[in-house]
Amino acid sequence: MTTTPPATLEAFLLIGAMLFCLGIYGALTRRNAVAILISIELMLNAANLNLVAFARFVDHSHISGQPFAIFVITVAAAEAAVGLAIVLCVYRNIRHINVDQINLLKW
């Protein structure tokens, strides 16, 4: 049973590139630390889409790239948990989370 793919590899890679660049734009323009974390999640997902697309189109077994995507999801979940805990910690100490005003280490 051969199946036609829903779209070309380039189409999936372009979606990944678009999501990544939207993530860059968000991470650069946001001031709220939680919003920056949201943008970073976008970028991680773009990388994940590329991994799964390469597994489907380039890899011979068509599957061995997928465990990589699972690992990226795992690391992203750990990153989100620790990142948001740090954000809560910062908020408790200085009552805001605007990253351009967090300058305790600046002299």
Residue 58, burial from CB neighbour count under 10 angstroms (0-12, 13-18, 19+) = exposed
Angstrom distance (rounded) from CA 105 to CA 57:
48
How many residues touch another protein under the rule CB under 8 A: the total is: 78
Q: Does 19 bind another protein (CB under 8 A)?
A: yes
Q: Does 39 bind another protein (CB under 8 A)?
A: yes
Q: Which is nearer to another protein, 28 or 104 (CB)?
A: 28
* Subset of residues 47 to 86 that bind another protein, contact rule: CB under 8 A: 48-49, 52-53, 55-64, 66-71, 73-82, 84-86
Give the 3-state DSSP-derived string for 56-104, with helices as H, strands as E and coil as C.
HHCCCCCCCCHHHHHHHHHHHHHHHHHHHHHHHHHHHHHCCCEHHHCCC
Q: What's the min distance (Å) between Cβ of 66 and another protein?
A: 5
CB of 29: closest distance to another protein in angstroms? 5
CB of 15 to another protein, least distance (A): 6
